[in-house]
Amino acid sequence: MAKCSICGRKAIEKIEYARKYLCSKHYTEFIEEKVRRSIRRYGLIKKGSKILLAVSGGKDSIALLTILSKLSKEIHFKPYVLHIDLGIGKYSEVSRKIVEKAVQETNLPLIIIELKDLLGMSVLELAKKSGRPSCSVCGIVKRYLMNAVAIEMKADAVATGHNLDDIMTFILKEFLQQNLDGITKLVPRIDKINEAAAAKIRPLYEIFEKETLTYVLINNIEFVKEKCPEARTNTLNNVLKNHIHILEEKFPGIKYSFIRSFLRNIDKYPKLYMEKLMKCCICSLISSGTKCSYCKLTEKTHGEPLGMYTRNYIRKLLTGMDYQGY
Amino acid sequence: MAKCSICGRKAIEKIEYARKYLCSKHYTEFIEEKVRRSIRRYGLIKKGSKILLAVSGGKDSIALLTILSKLSKEIHFKPYVLHIDLGIGKYSEVSRKIVEKAVQETNLPLIIIELKDLLGMSVLELAKKSGRPSCSVCGIVKRYLMNAVAIEMKADAVATGHNLDDIMTFILKEFLQQNLDGITKLVPRIDKINEAAAAKIRPLYEIFEKETLTYVLINNIEFVKEKCPEARTNTLNNVLKNHIHILEEKFPGIKYSFIRSFLRNIDKYPKLYMEKLMKCCICSLISSGTKCSYCKLTEKTHGEPLGMYTRNYIRKLLTGMDYQGY
């Protein structure tokens, strides 16, 4: 039985690319140190800042919540948790409960936006009524709400739980579709562009998917184990992620060296999207056209664009909580 | 049993991305028409030009030889065949015989360079003596000789049998290694830069690997079926090619759409290698440093750089043949 390279106790995992075995205590520290280092290396979080954590309840966002909650005491920043209840039956109920429990344990402030309360419809009903695939509608709604909440509460950034495998999958997908412009967004930090778009950070940028899973498992942290019942299988994303997994197995370290050289090269890619960005004519939040996707979507489902209405809803939701006045 | 979409006879293959079944006659025509179209679309071969075909004897280069031999009568260009005998025992003997046979049938002029005659060593001996991997040494020698022969015989271009799967594999590999500069070389035609580097063309740029195989099989054309005994398995190239194969199976047409959008985007990639190119201080042929890889290699194996010697050897080999004087 392999022993921990640090303390000699029973190892629970081999870190192939770092060539060491670790026990659960040192594995946990190893992952947290990696996140700490990414935060420092990419300048993700400053002292005194307000960070909105987008937490679905899956392994990645639960690991994000746990790790950033710990680090917030060292780096002295204020994490807030945002959970969006999509109204997908039992799946959403379970997810919400898990997030509520994690928040109780870490004692962080929680903002829940319930889609059925906000729009009178679940994400599936929105998809059905708009005639669009549910994953696409879900993406529009989540991205919009994350940004809108961050803007209304004047957060310094929205943090998401995307891991290295997610990022590399997105980069390869954009490359296969030759959307070079989209590639430039896949960095650890996208700065705040203007009043319409909050900064975005990805603190798990250098953490493997397998690592967030091991982290939550060995620390007995509850997370949503079920896949979303609406999730499609055999998408290009899934197939690519699987290929990346095989690549790393055959060439340990390839994910790391890829992402590092990618970031070194980032300025060589055309960055046209920055020029194309504008403010939505309805809600004034960020948009790639005159009207943003969320306003277009709600126009289809409700007969009128609900961006401004949604911003007011969020404002009211935040009133009386301690998110204002910073 | 499926029938040919054109003539109704028994189909031998389904072309997934074109949504049709084809009999062997129409399959053959379909592939030849694709090559004809690529030649036209990318301006690969002009009337009256002299094209040096690099033919190892494998399915791709044998398909190249067969198809270009046919098309040369339509487009009125002069194909010459170059075969390099690497001296890898039985494998090289078989390869050479197959190329000689194919050349007899098509009645094209053949140039054979025998490494053991030229350098007194097989490619394996060169590898051993230089301490470099044999695949890398083989690449250096082949690239050098192809270019040198084309320069000495004043050919308009060297044509290689790289198929779409090869090209896409190379592009993905360069992307994974973030060699964006290298990506820009993976086009259907690299123009002649100066007297040191002949133009390169890839007439099978849009032909799938599976298609060259089917083409030679149904036309009963002999080709080398054995893999090179020195070839490594589980290289990044092999793994990526396999992934590309799976991608096409799951998303028919993805290879095509990738390569098309790649070529549309080609000017967006940094093209630094053009600036870095120079002439070798020994042999005056193209080099990325002051001394070319072939001169460096032979310096290691023979105690002196043999670029100039090799150019003279080729010149003598060509003397008295009809390659001169164009």
Chains A–B, number of C-beta pairs less than 8 Å apart: 49
d(CA A213, CA A237): 19
d(CA B181, CA A261): 13
Q: Are A54 and A206 in contact (CB under 8 A)?
A: no
Query: Which tokens sit at B142?
Result: 């082949």
pLDDT at B326 over 60: no
Query: Which tokens sit at B223?
Result: 């080709």
- Say what the pLDDT of residue B195 is: 82
d(CA B127, CA B90): 18
Q: Could you tell me if residue A72 is inside a domain?
A: yes
Contact A261 B234 (CB under 8 A): no
Residue with tokens 């996208």: A190
d(CA A33, CA A54): 21
Angstroms from A33 CA to nearest CA on chain B: 26
- Confidence band for B9, pLDDT divided at 50, 70 and 90: very high
HSE, CB side, 13 Å, CA atoms: give it for residue A52.
25
Among candidates B161, B182, B211, B163, which has minimal Cα distance to B18?
Answer: B211
d(CA A305, CA A139): 17
Q: Taking residues A117-124, what's their average pLDDT?
A: 96
Interface test with B, best of A176, A179, A266 (most B CBs within 10 A): A176
Angstroms from A14 CA to nearest CA on chain B: 23
Q: Are A129 and A303 in contact (CB under 8 A)?
A: no
Tally of domains in chain B:
1
The CB density around residue A162, as the number of other CB atoms within 10 Å, is 24
- Confidence band for A324, pLDDT divided at 50, 70 and 90: very low
Three-state DSSP class for residue B90: helix
Query: Which tokens sit at B304?
Result: 């002196």
Global pTM value? 0.92
B212 is in which domain, residue-wise?
26-271
Q: What 3 state SS string does B167-198 have?
A: HHHHHHHHHHCCCHHHHCCCCCEECCCECCEC
Q: Could you tell me if residue A90 is inside a domain?
A: yes
Chain centroid to Cα B169, Å, comes to 14
pLDDT at B310 over 70: yes
Among candidates B7, B39, B42, which has minimal Cα distance to B24?
Answer: B7
- Confidence band for A325, pLDDT divided at 50, 70 and 90: very low
d(CA B126, CA B137): 7
Among candidates A65, A74, A159, which has minimal Cα distance to A108?
Answer: A65
pLDDT at B325 over 60: no
d(CA B67, CA B60): 10
Q: What 3 state SS string does B265-280 have?
A: HHHHCCCCHHHHCEEC
pLDDT at B16 over 90: no
Q: Could you tell me if residue B319 is inside a domain?
A: no
Task: Outline where chain A has alpha helix (H).
Answer: 24-41, 59-75, 89-106, 115-119, 123-130, 134-152, 164-176, 180-183, 209-218, 236-250, 254-265, 273-276, 293-302, 307-318
d(CA A7, CA A86): 44
Contact A177 B262 (CB under 8 A): no
Direct distance between the N- and C-terminal alpha carbons of chain B, in angstroms, rounded to an integer: 53
Q: Could you tell me if residue A310 is inside a domain?
A: no
Among candidates B250, B261, B270 on the partner chain, residue whose Cβ is nearest the Cβ of A268: B270
Q: Could you tell me if residue B266 is inside a domain?
A: yes
pLDDT at B214 over 90: yes
Among candidates B2, B20, B4, B37, which has minimal Cα distance to B203?
Answer: B37
As to burial, measured by CB atoms within 10 angstroms (0-12 exposed, 13-18 middle, 19+ buried), residue A106 is: middle
Q: Are B54 and B61 in contact (CB under 8 A)?
A: yes
Q: Could you tell me if residue A54 is inside a domain?
A: yes
Q: Which helix (H) or strand (E) holds B20?
A: strand B20-22
d(CA B97, CA B113): 14
**What are the tens digits of pLDDT across the range B51-73?**
999 999 999 999 999 999 999 99
Query: Which tokens sit at B21?
Result: 């079944």
DSSP B232: P
pLDDT at B228 over 50: yes
d(CA A324, CA A153): 6
Query: Which tokens sit at A263?
Result: 């970031």
- Confidence band for B78, pLDDT divided at 50, 70 and 90: very high
Q: Which helix (H) or strand (E) holds B311?
A: helix B307-318
Residue with tokens 């044509």: B159
**What are the tens digits of pLDDT across the range B259-296?**
999 999 998 887 766 666 789 999 999 998 899 999 99
- Say what the pLDDT of residue A320 is: 67
Q: Are B159 and B53 in contact (CB under 8 A)?
A: yes
Q: What residues contact residue B223 under an 8 Å CB cut-off, 6+ apart?
A: B57, B58, B59, B62, B63, B98, B216
Residue with tokens 């960005």: A277
Residue with tokens 């060292």: A74
HSE, CB side, 13 Å, CA atoms: give it for residue A299.
11
- Confidence band for A269, pLDDT divided at 50, 70 and 90: confident
Q: What is the CATH number of the domain that holds B136?
A: 3.40.50.620
Inter-axis angle of helices A209-218 and A164-176, nearest 10: 160
Chain A residues within an 8 Å CB radius of B176? 247, 254, 258
Q: Could you tell me if residue A91 is inside a domain?
A: yes
**A200-201 sheet: strands from edge to edge:** A110-114, A78-85, A50-54, A157-159, A200-201, A189-190
Provide residues of A within 8 Å CB-CB of chain B: 172, 175-178, 180, 234, 236, 239, 243, 246-247, 250-251, 254, 258, 261-262, 264-265, 268-270
Q: Could you tell me if residue B221 is inside a domain?
A: yes
Contact B239 A254 (CB under 8 A): no
Task: Measure Cα distances from A133 to A121, A230, A310 in Å.
Answer: 15, 10, 22
ipTM, 2 decimals?
0.89
d(CA B138, CA B294): 10
Contact A239 B261 (CB under 8 A): no
Among candidates B176, B239, B251 on the partner chain, residue whose Cβ is nearest the Cβ of A258: B176
d(CA A21, CA A287): 47
Pairing between β-strand A20-22 and β-strand A13-15 as defined by DSSP bridges: antiparallel
